[in-house]
Amino acid sequence: MFRGLPAIVVWAVLYVANGFVIGWRNAYDVMLAIISPADTTSPVVAWPLSVVGWLAAPGIAGAVAGYVVTSSIQGRRRTKPEELYGGDRRE
């Protein structure tokens, strides 16, 4: 669960740096590819945020979804069939 922490820290640092340099709204728009990094006041700072937005954001969302699904499946595997069916299991 903590393997993604470095990626989140890099994303946060880039987002905060871009927020101060190009503005918070522009940083958000660049990260989500709403506007091009070339259209900002400082494209050199905006391009890394754009790349992180394209690569890290879907990876983080996928990791969270995978963790939720895995924990849900593991929770169901620990339940015995007798507990699921209330002891009235007929074969």
pLDDT of the chain, 91 residues: tens digit per residue: 577 788 788 889 999 999 999 999 999 999 989 999 999 999 999 999 999 989 877 887 888 899 888 888 776 666 666 676 665 555 5
CA nearest neighbour of 53 among 1, 2, 10: 10
Beta carbons of 30 and 50 less than 8 angstroms apart:
yes
The pTM of this model reads: 0.66
Q: Which residue has the tokens 């494209």?
A: 43
Strands (E), the chain: none
